[in-house]
Structure 1
Amino acid sequence: MGVRIPPPVPIKHKKMSVISYVSEAFEELKTNVTWPDWPEVQRYTIVVALFSVLFALATWGVDELFAKSLAGFFNWIKA
């Protein structure tokens, strides 16, 4: 009684040149991708920019807090 493992199935790889790969990729981008309309792109760009600025400010604030806390701690130890 054991587990029967089937033999591997041979996979035939089609050789593809770089040019055909790029042309197929562009064709797929033109036909199979649903692109957003321009107002939606603008709205999402503004949202991403806003959150990037907010995240940068939050990171700066936490960095300043830790820097001042560590400076105060080491000044307290030194005194």
Structure 2
Amino acid sequence: MDVSRYVNLVYFGIAILAFTIFDKSLIWLWESVDALRQVSIVGDAITLSTLIAIGLTVALVLYLYKRVDIRRYFSEVIIELQKVTWPNWSQTKRSTVITIVFTVVLSVFLWGSDQLWSKLTTWLLTNPGV
């Protein structure tokens, strides 16, 4: 895929995220303000707040799409991501095993240190003559 398709996918992702945020926020607003009554357009699935969220989403995506600097930024990010060399499956497995082993060893060390300092602190606090 060329860069413009990836940029369009980014805009599509922004649209999904923006719609979700707008829709949930407007539903919350409608429920918290007693004077506003939720108007159903098509059953319970599409309400007035949903249509407003769609409108806000379209406006936001069109605004972002018309901004040349934002499109250029997305294109540059995608071009840089295409230069990245991703690890193969064996490298990924090896790195995962190393991470898990290190995490377990460090967890045991921290647990042991915590137990040692806990016992030492308890002993020092309960023996005032020391």
TM over 0.5: yes
Q: Distance in 2 between matches of 1:77 and 1:39?
A: 58
The change in CA–CA distance for 1:37 and 1:76 in structure 2 (over 3 A counts) is same
Match of 1:28 among 80, 91, 100: 80
Q: What fraction of aligned residue pairs are identical, expressed as a percent?
A: 30
Please provide the CA RMSD for this pair: 2.0
Q: Which runs of 5+ in 1 are unaligned?
A: 1-15
Higher relative contact order (CA 8 A, sep 6+): 2
TM-score (norm 2): 0.43
- Residue in 2 aligned with 1:70? 121
Runs of 5+ in structure 2 lacking a partner? 1-67
Which stretches of structure 1, 4 residues or longer, exceed 6 Å deviation after superposition?
none
- 2:71 — aligned with what? 19
- Count of residue pairs the alignment pairs up: 63
- Distance in 1 (CA, whole Å) between partners of 2:69 and 2:105 is 45
Aligned partners of 1:42, 1:22: CA distance in 2, in Å? 31
The alpha-carbon deviation at position 17 of structure 1 amounts to 2.4
Q: Is residue 2:50 matched to residue 1:50?
A: no
Task: Provide the C-alpha distance between the structure 2 equivalents of 1:28 and 1:63, rounded to a whole number of angstroms.
Answer: 44
The structure where helix makes up a greater share of residues is 2
Report the TM-score when normalising by structure 1: 0.68
1:76 Cα deviation after fit: 0.9
